[in-house]
Structure 1
């Protein structure tokens, strides 16, 4: 009997185990269908589900359903925007719920989400992307369908992990980001009344119209909420909240009505110690509060009562107060004393625009430096009116001695302010500066700051700013860094628009300098330590070499300024510019240069152009007027000119040219990307001489072409050079050396590779003594008119040139030419002589004796040479002389090579 019982028990257990493994596969598709159906029946959006799984073991004896990668994507007018994304959703229910038929709701007992994102957007017309509920969906359903629900809630607990909530209103430019939200609650939702025990923590960032009010503020709330589900009233019971490190407690309730929310809430700080004020500051900036000794109090308390709806807000009164408080960090030498804070934010009508802010007093003292300010703001919603006063002195060097500000380098200097201002935001927005009332001044003296990476500190000996109704004037700004000095004066026309409305900063300035070293204002590249890589097996790979890092240069988009500059000396790398003057216009992420003039390289440069960093790749366009520049210095010290004409560095003389350039810039170095350079150079050389021995190219040419002394070529010519697609194209031009002419044509790349053709027209007399022997056989006039075309092809690079010539072929051509001339001369001579002899033989020259008788010819004498024999003799003689000259010439040429 026992065996039978054990046998059947074993069989039942086996069946149950098999069932537990197989049921998830049987119900998987059904549950996925229910999830999609539950969402699709309610929303007009695109819903996607990555995967659905069912487990009977993880929360046994409950069934656990996991939904992965659930997303809800908006349709028009927010087409493509993600409204909701959940990396993981877990639903827990009784196993019996899996066996319910169609139309029966599954009872959910708990749920959790993980790695979710919620995006709430309002467009400029006030439409929200969350308004996706199907219109008329309920009206079109049958009574049976209305009664049928995929899921029913009998939740006992829920949990949200790592949720990011984003909110953006295009009309008000309000942006709220609640990040790393973790929240859980325990309560019996099946009851009409329950106490929900909740725990919440998150970080909050708040921006309004590009102005940041809160950045990653830590929030924490542990609260028990009394919930009346029938009346929709939620009451604060036991609770404790923290804003960063400041503790608050809440009381009151929130009720949900058709018209909005009925709010009746009070709150106040848990303690009255002045540490509450420091606790508002993020710990990364305030340090450990355990290290602080405080005296006096700081309290925050408030009340809100009334209806929050589309047209009203609750009446509220929030107060921040401190009376003669002080604090001192034990690790720092100085204290902050005589701290007074009296601030109220009040609304007495329930109309948002009637809210006003009174900062009646905000004051403190560090050593002997006293700072005092007050401000009042009205009409906060429609057109804020601001009335503020600021007066005080702050020794910047004492700030870090009294407060643990983490600065990379210390500050020093005395800041004094005595300013009164009164304005409304519409005047700021519209530029009606005549309605803005300003008065007072701000000064900074003895300011000393050494930015990271800079060799020398930046020292402002004196800076004075005066405030008046129409503008803010920089009456003095004297500064030095390294060996550079600058003095600036000018004015800002819309300072308030820049500060409060993120408008462009408009101004006009004049800058003067005795010496300006550009390197003094540039940070050195920083070296980033390479992180050791890890193999798949977890072993550390050898660390890579440290990499240098530097940020791409961007011209600030907010600048709209004109600067007229005058500097006696400007040093840029190895360049020394004198008497630099011109105008610089900064606008729309670009700098335009106008009427810039400077003396350099024994001459002058005038230029105009622009540089823009607005696109992904910075660009430039510039025109240069080069006047009487020393050629050697220009083409050895200016990299761009060196790339355009590398050989010009061995030329002495003066350059006058008009240069037009445009192309891309290296984003970090802001130097031209030569591969993208296009433009032209049109100019001339004067008073030139050449040091051929300093050029590998000219030396190689000289060894191949002895008939030209390249150091004596006349280069006083006008040239036209074009550049595009990484190549420099020299328009054909002709040079003279004595009575030798050469035509030059070709291109070279900015990578220094070249392809040039040199076509020489060389008088034959320059081809050596052997050719001279041949020329001696010619008449002087014929010899002087005889020239030889010789071509030279230049390849390789300027540092490693390859030169090929057709000199041998040209000499052979010359030899044949001389042979032909000699042959023609002897043929003509022989022909003339033969004709004379033939005439004599035919009686044209008879011998008559004195007695009138004829003497017969002496037939025993040798006959005169025939015409054909004379012709052959002349040909042979010329051929022999030419061949001997050519042999001697080639022997010498071979020895030279």
Structure 2
């Protein structure tokens, strides 16, 4: 072996032996001077305490933190002077390990380089007056510490520290804060630059409670926190900074940047947390229960990027929150709806207005560049917000453009089905939020539907190539540039609804739509759906305010009234044709009120007023009409002879004027219910004629077999009829014609029950054609022999005979 190696090994062996001897010596010293050393340690630890520190026992453990001497203190208890009042022990540690400098120890000086607290509880308590049991620690000065070190005294600068199995609590009754951690493992190394101190810390704790305000509950409750921290303290600014790139909270890793400000009279804190891939449900689970309950009613399927700032004062009050989030191509679930292809930037803060405090009432959620698709309806919200979370109000700008067939997924089968066209919406809204849903929104802006095909289910009305423009202004709704086409009918409409937004939810039955309607041609049969009872095909619409937008829309459409002022060039209904039609109609849930209808038809005019009461399948009507100088043949033809079979348009000629007041029933298909008509009819026929009228011909064959009854001219005919279902009562009526004169009275049965009395003079009125004096004509009318004839039914057959009851 080389000589130099032998010498080196001897030196190394001597050093090892020296250290062993030193260790043995220290151990022996501590063992023989336990009480003295314990007293020194307690004295040293008590130098900065204003209270009591008790230690149960002390044992040396040289090799634990070699070359320092480790002292294992048992049952260490620290209490402040006010403990008898509040009963909160600051420190109660079963194992309290202290490492002291070995060389200093032989000089009788305690220099502590390491403290380890194990199997302990730490309770930092502040009562409602602001007093804290941390008052047990006296505030020392760095200069004096340095002086002590320079003079060979003790140094209180720790190089290492650790906590294991420690229950750590910060309980501030004054500011309603409660932080409680179960520390599994906390260890760190410290250095002391001129500016203060710096520490590298490993942390593994269970956050049992993190309540910035105990009245609102705890954040990250019962979450495991694992991280490596880089911490530092600057004496000049009084700031403690803590940073971490792997701050793991319950399996979610955050970036953490924290600052604590001390020595300013009101200690404050600020947390900056970031996470680029955080699931909504896991983020909600980190928050206080009152916030969780709300957030759990929402969800985002994919992870989102989140940045949060939480700052405040340990002295009291709610902390400040500022949270931003970026959502890309996500699926958002909200109460009552799912929004697909969702993208937006969100900001939440509980200080909307600076200086108004940190509270729900001063909170705001801002949404920017929101894009999504609701039930296949794509939309954007340029800017949206929810303010005052105590009484939430939502506002925003809503835009959307899509094929109207996409509406079908939303409307279902109760309101309407679209077959084509496009929709464009540009709306500003403001609404209360009740139970996390928009309630009674105030809307301004436009909704435009173009080239639309639609089947309006409650009225079974089908429209094609139609356009609608809705303009929300204030509380009013303006309906512009509306073009509706159903079959051959084309209708143009302009309308408005006063106070629409207020009535839409609170009283839809009070909504009145005022319409101005024009049409070049209208085929009434194409709108027979309005005879149907206005109920959707699904369950009946609710009258009360519904939080379902489709149910509420159906309720409004079924309950609202429409006041229609119509101007129609041509009106067609089966065989009926009218021109220059002017009508005022009031449509409501119960039926149709017809006011001041006037039109031209059959060469004359007609005026009509009435009311249609809608029922299940058959609708009742009340109608009053005035007919002036219409071609009676054309008029009867247009109305299918009013249900008469013996007297038809082929039997009539002349100009008819009439006044009617009738009631009856009409089916949903537009057919008059047989024998339902009742009322009064007064007629006047000028320049008339009866052509091949079978009842007259039947009488003529019996009384006037040699007269031509196929063409009976009537200079004037006035009639008074009472309609009673299948019976028509003919009040006494004079018929003066070219063939015969007669007085007629009785009952004409449409099915049975005919019983008519006829008084017929035998003289031929043809000879009276030259008489112009009315009085003379009246005298000669019944001159001569008069036949009294009765036409009545017996056993279902009409019999003609003498009227034996005539007086």
For normalisation by structure 1, the TM-score amounts to 0.42
Q: Which has the higher strand share?
A: 2
Q: Which has the higher helix share?
A: 1
Q: Who wins on radius of gyration, i.e. which is larger?
A: 2
For normalisation by structure 2, the TM-score amounts to 0.46
